[in-house]
Structure 1
Amino acid sequence: MIKDWIVEGLADGWSHLDGASLQDNRQLDCDVLIIGSGAGGGISAQVIAEAGFKVILVDEGPLKTSQDFKMQERQAYPDLYQESAARKTKDKAISIFQGRCVGGSTTVNWTTSLRTPESTLLHWQRRWGIRQLTSENLQPYFEQVEQQLGIRPWLANNANNALLAKGCEALGWSHKAVPRNVRQCWNLGYCGMGCPTNAKQSMLVTTIPAALNLGASLLSRFRVESLNIKQQRVRGASLQALDQQQCPRQIEIKVNARHVILAAGAIGSPAILLRSKVPDPNQLIGKRTFLHPSVISGALFEQPVLSHQGAPQSVYSDHFVWRDGVEGRCGYKLEVPPVHPILLATKLTGFGRFHSEMMQQMNHLQVTIGLLRDGFHEQSHGGQVKLRDDASPMLDYHLSDYLWDGARRALLSIAELQFAAGAKQVYPLHEQSRQLNSWTEAQSFIKQLAMQPLATRLASAHVMGGCAMGGEAASSVVDEDGNFRLLAGLTVIDGSVFPTSLGANPQLTIYALALRNSQRLAAKLALSVP
């Protein structure tokens, strides 16, 4: 039987309030309120608690543990994801996968842990005036996080990943092993549904238990309605309890805090700032919110691929990410996703018998994705977080001709790779698509496809920006330490501070930056103890 540390900790007296069961309004006090328990909030909670401060950690999602993770899509998506894994951009053109549970997206991601590319950091320095975040300065933070979370290259490839490597080798394209944040991994392949063995070193089983052991309090199923601001200083937040279906209840908590860390993610953090009507004279909040919009291509092989089994991601190729320079044509990263029935069925194009026949061949299907690197070119401005009438967030994301050119080239590269790996047929996910029988046929077909919203299938599990950091106040929401420029008592520590996308999976960058900035904040708070 798998040991469930969360259940044992709660039984031993950890402080936890569940918004679905709380029966009365409350007022709480703390030194530091941390909003969001993912990569940024989880790391910050441990660091601030270790510094001796009273911490309250709040998440709008439920507290689920290994005993709840049944490897069932129909249960995992509504329990663990924003909008039941059906979140989309305003025009419905891009599916967005984000966690909504204690541990955030670290609870449900595919464990890929890559350092920030040097090209990205150099661009940030040159274009956005970010001077301190060099590879040399970030090195100790990367090393500490990698050691704490067991991050190392994973060398046991399932067929899905092995075929990506095989295609790269046949074509002479570069590829590498994916470092993963796991210990004693069972190689099940269901990472996206929560790890049932606690092998994934997510915030759920690492930093959050560490903070709770030090006396931190956890609030789950509470939505932050607004920050409380007095005399140009953030002094806490107003929270609304949610029921088990994530619907608002008439129960509220007011939290008074010396300092607030906003770590609700690159859609959630801008939304909270917008709801709170914080000062924003340059109209920057929510702007330049970036995805890695990803095109998708399936390939049928004679042999079984069984892409639902084994580590979801263990091989990647950066061959095309920087090929045309940082500010040249849109680069793209090649990876594979796991292939599970509901996820496949909702992304697969076509209707009726064709869709049914493709689903029946799922075990012979290899899938490769091309993640577009957005934000480095003058024609790639990302999207904008806006509020709906009910104050919930949405992402308005315009895809420029620059990005569409990258999407077409990515589909071409993937088709070439899949045929080089031995595919008998390739099927780019597009409403006008059909099964292609050769690389020659694929080239002419993909070159004439209409690259446009809702026709081309696009998805992203990486959301970045919206509270951009920078060296100049006129072009940034926060400074390099994450401190909000126009209000005291507020630090943003999550992927929303990125001024561009990364060109790499963002988990490890957020961990390292959170470690750096929360340590700096703890030192500053220690100097200002009343």
Structure 2
Amino acid sequence: MSAPFNFGQLKFLKALTEALFHGAPMVISADQVVANITELFAKVGGTKLDEIRLSLTATELVLGPLFAAVDVETRAHRIRNRLQNSQIDLFQDMARLRGIVYACYYGHWQPGVEAGDQQANAANPVHQQIGFTLPKFRVRGPADMAITRVEGREIDPAHILDADTLGDEYDVVVVGSGAGGAVAAHNVAARGYRVLIVEAGPFYPSPRITHHELDMVAQLYKHGALQTSTNRDFIVFQGRCVGGSSTINNGICLRVNEAGRTHPDAVDVLARWASIGAPIDADAFHSSYDAIRDRLHIGTIEARAGRHNGPHLINGWHAYAAGSSDPKEQRAVADWFAKNFGPPHTPAACAYCGYCNSGCAYGRRLGMAQTYLPDACRDHGARILPGTKADRIVWQTSIDGRREAEGVKLILPDGSRRTVRARVGVVVAAGTIASSKLLDRSDIDGTGHNVSLNIASPVVALMPEGVGGNAWDEDQMSSYVDCGDFLLESHFQSPMAMASLMPGWFTDHSERMRNYGRVHSAGILFPADRRGRVKDGKLKFELDRDTDLPLLRRAMATLTKVHFAAGAIECYPALTKGQRLTPDMDIDSFFETAIRESDDVTLSSSHPHGGNAINVDPDAGVVDPDCRVHGTTNVIVTDASVFPTCIRVNAQWTTMAMAHYATARHDPFG
């Protein structure tokens, strides 16, 4: 493994780290932080490493001259003036380097006998500094779930292929092993087809998953959880491993327009699809939801799993709404999430360790790698080829003149290329961005357009001493409020992730992290409908100033007020400058002034969808209502890229339902 940074870059990283911690106590050295950064990017590699190198060079120029040679106070002064408080878009983009430095401080992991050794980190100085205890050492009462492994759910390694065991032809090649690919692969294999599942990421079963966050994000996320839009306004989180994002998400399962769990004024998603030429059989689609629910044992989470941060949001909402005269707020739905963690109220239920986003080390999450994938392999003969990129679909002409997939060109882990024949058909389910890229490389017109995102941004709240309990000792996300045009979702992160999203600079950031046991957190989620496109292999996405930014401000203001209604004494919205709010402030006016453009706030999404939309008209969509690519006989797309508009809720369950809908009602290749 080659060194990711040269001497000058390492020197700058150390100087930057020292400046970002100016005035704040450090329990590991700046050199150790730089070593952690180096280790992370050595594993991430690729184009993301090239981007970071370029960003380091540009930032050093902006902070110069001789940034590393001047004293720490001068360095901090330059950062404050040129990055923290800048309104220049380029400088605001550079300011996001702070998140990497803070993540690699609070994500520090002591090496042990084994990878991810919790015992070696029993006295991790960073954990002690913020009052955090690793799951292995938490004391729980008899009413709590023991943090132990559930065995017997993993994929048999014998069903994982490599270059030597890969065959020359299969009936069906499925590209992608996440929510859409795994369900489709299972259903197609159950029809008797010989199925190959191609996954770009590694095979990483839950026994290999640890609480070493820096290692997990490098191994399990695309671009090490640093994938961004082309303008760097949005971080887009996507899994890149066998099981896809179902391996590293919070398991949230919401249907579109579910009675009693969706705001009654929310847009009717399926009706809207039908109105623009994408009719879906609603009864059949909800039957697909039901089938996924039954296999994944989806159910409302146990209250003990979200015992601190979860009720904080629900109780805060009720207190806030009691004083509201807005009829829409009176009709809002506040409830606990349903998840595929469990099943609930059984010995295999979620042990709420708080590490969902870096993978479940305990085999309790019923993701694709614990359900549909092992089922497809064990019961129906499917096989999985990890670490392999699908480069393009190879075509021939069918008897009726349409294009017919003959095979798929693959790039194997060693860089060699090989074409695997697909005797019957191809399923594309690599996610909105990757599926659009694959179809484009395969000469399918119109791909990658009208991409939607559910946009998220957090607001952290400081509670009075002794109020609320340790929010890190529970399920990361447990409750939500559907406000009609946006959602509020409780969430709390493990140390590294929390440090990267915690607003603030210098001593402010350090103080907030030292209050780790006193803070609660939640985020907004609002739909940005058909604002983006995949261009030159990357996501180009911009919010609309006249519609999206006012909604963003209103959602952030509402969540801040809910925190204060729940008893918070300070709030820290995820703003670039790191401001703090108190209950006596005019919250609405503050956000009107503070958020003038996307660069003023940290925005992310785990739910990209669209790009290859369903439509009866080939000129208006890429796939037909059966998810078959227009103009082809045997290529279907079964991931969220076929959604015609933004679904406004977390996409996992709907993606699985779409894959089931496309492959279970009838034989898509029959």
TM score, norm. by length of structure 1:
0.88
CA offsets, 1:58-93, max 9 Å, x none? 100000111111122111101110100111111111
2:429 aligned with 1:274: no
- Counterpart of 1:328 in structure 2 is none
Partner of 2:388: 222
How far, CA to CA, are the matches of 1:417 and 1:212 in structure 2? 47
2:516 counterpart of 1:354: no
Look up the match of 1:238.
409
**Aligned mates of 1:52, 1:364 — CA distance in 2:** 55
Partner of 2:34: none
Which residue does 2:95 correspond to in 1?
none
Q: 1:360 offset after TM fit, Å?
A: 1.4
Aligned counterparts of 1:313 and 1:334: Cα–Cα separation in 2: 11
- Could you list the structure 1 runs, at least 4 aligned residues long, displaced by more than 3 angstroms after superposition: 1-8
CA distance in 2, matches of 1:176, 1:201: 22
| Distance (whole Å) between structure 1 residues aligned to residue 155 and residue 366 of structure 2 | 18
1:524 positional shift: 4.5
Alignment of 1:69 onto 2:223? no
Equivalent-residue separation in structure 2 for 1:58 and 1:481 (angstroms): 22
Any conservation in 1 of the 2:150–2:364 contact (CA below 8 Å)?
no
CA contact (8 A) 1:419 1:439 kept: no
Secondary structure of the structure 2 residue equivalent to 1:83? helix
2:510 maps to amino acid: S
Residues 3-14 of structure 1: pairs in structure 2 closer than 5 A: 4-5=151-152, 9-10=156-157, 14=158
In structure 2, how many angstroms separate the alpha carbons of the residues matched to 1:7 and 1:509?
A: 24
Supply the distance in 1 between the matched residues of 2:615 and 2:544 (Cα, whole angstroms). Answer: 24
CA drift of 1:453 comes to: 2.6
Which residue of structure 2 aligns with residue 32 of structure 1?
Answer: 172
Q: 284, 300, 306: which one pairs with 1:137?
A: 284
Q: Is the 8 A contact 1:4 1:67 kept in 2?
A: no
Does 1:166 find its partner at 2:315?
yes
**Aligned counterpart, 1:482:** 627
Match of 1:390 in 2: none
Contact 1:416 1:439 in 2 (8 A): no
Amino acid at match of 2:335: K
Equivalent residue for 1:79, pick from 219, 222, 225: 219
1:176-225, Cα deviation, whole Å (9 max, x unpaired): 12111122221222111211221111010101001111211110000111
CA contact (8 A) 1:182 1:201 kept: yes
Is the contact made by 2:278 and 2:644 (CA closer than 8 Å) also made in structure 1? no
| Matching residue of 1:149 | 296
Q: Is the 8 A contact 1:160 1:366 kept in 2?
A: yes
Percent of residue pairs identical: 27
Residue 7 of structure 1 deviates from its aligned partner by: 6.6
Residues 180, 429 of structure 2: 8 Å contact kept: yes
Going from structure 1 to structure 2, the CA distance change for 1:6 and 1:60 (only over 3 Å counts) comes to: farther
Alignment partner of 1:44 out of 181, 184, 203:
184
Given the superposition, is the C-alpha separation of residues 196 and 28 from structure 1 closer, same or farther in structure 2, using an over 3 Å criterion? same
Q: Does 1:56 align with 2:196?
A: yes
Tell me, which stretches of 5 or more residues in structure 2 are unaligned? Answer: 1-147, 259-267, 322-331, 343-347, 398-402
Which of 231, 234, 238 lines up with 1:98 in the alignment? Answer: 238
The answer on whether the counterparts of 2:410 and 2:417 sit within 8 Å (CA) in structure 1 is yes
Per-residue CA deviations over 1:112-157 (Å, capped at 9, x if unaligned) read 001122611121122x2222332x3322211111111000111312
Instruction: Provide the C-alpha distance between the structure 2 equivalents of 1:295 and 1:218, rounded to a whole number of angstroms.
Output: 35
For residue 229 of structure 2, what is the aligned residue in structure 1?
A: 89
User: Within 1, Cα distance between the matches of 2:540 and 2:312?
Assistant: 35
Report the equivalent of 1:371: 525
Shift of 1:449: 1.2
Q: 1:439 to 1:206 in 2, by over 3 A?
A: farther
Provide the C-alpha distance between the structure 2 equivalents of 1:116 and 1:469, rounded to a whole number of angstroms: 17
1:382 paired with 2:531, answer yes
Aligned partner letter, 1:296: P
CA displacement 1:3-57 (0-9 Å, x = unmatched): 65477722xxx33224xxx469x66211110000001111111111111110000
Q: What is aligned with 1:285? A: 447
**Greater strand share, 1 or 2?**
1
- 2:614 is matched with 469
3-state SS of 2:196 partner: strand
In structure 2, how many angstroms separate the alpha carbons of the residues matched to 1:447 and 1:519?
49
Within the candidate set 384, 392, 415, 1:250 is matched to 415
The answer as to 2:564 corresponding to 1:399 is no
- Aligned equivalent of 1:17, options 161, 164, 167: 161
Q: Match for residue 245 of structure 1?
A: none
Q: What is the alpha-carbon distance in structure 2 between the residues aligned to residue 444 and residue 102 of structure 1?
A: 46
Closer/same/farther in 2, CA of residues 133 and 370 from structure 1, 3 Å limit: farther
Counterpart in 1 of 2:334? Answer: 175
For residues 425-464 of structure 1, the aligned pairs below 5 Å read 425-438=570-583, 440-464=585-609
CA change 1:475–1:8 in 2 (3 A) is closer
Distance of 1:7 and 1:443 partners within structure 2: 49
Q: Give the aligned residue type for 1:28.
A: D
User: 1:337-356 CA deviation, whole Å, 9 max, x = no partner?
Assistant: 23222222222333221221
**Which amino acid is the alignment partner of residue 164 of structure 1?**
L
Selected match of 2:480 from 316, 324, 341: 316
Is the 8 Å Cα contact of residues 27 and 254 (structure 1) preserved in structure 2?
A: no
Q: Which amino acid aligns with 2:534?
A: V
- What displacement does 1:94 show? 0.8
**Which residue number corresponds to residue 664 of structure 2?**
519
Q: Which one-letter code corresponds to 1:182 in the other structure?
A: F
What's the offset of the Cα at 1:304? 5.1
CA distance in 2, matches of 1:461, 1:510: 13
Instruction: Name the CA distance, whole Å, in 1 between partners of 2:650 and 2:155.
Output: 32
* Partner SS state of residue 363, structure 1: coil
Say if 2:314 and 2:479, in contact at 8 Å, map to a contact too: yes
Task: Report what 2:557 is aligned to.
Answer: 412
Quote the offset at 1:520 in angstroms: 4.0
Equivalenced residue count is 486
> Unpaired runs of 5+ in structure 1?
243-248, 322-330, 376-380, 388-392
- TM-score after normalising by structure 2: 0.70
Is 1:340 paired with 2:499?
no
SS at match of 2:238: coil
Give the structure with higher Rg (CA). Answer: 2
Quick one: higher RCO (CA 8 Å, sep 6+), 1 or 2? Answer: 1
**2:459 maps to which residue?**
297
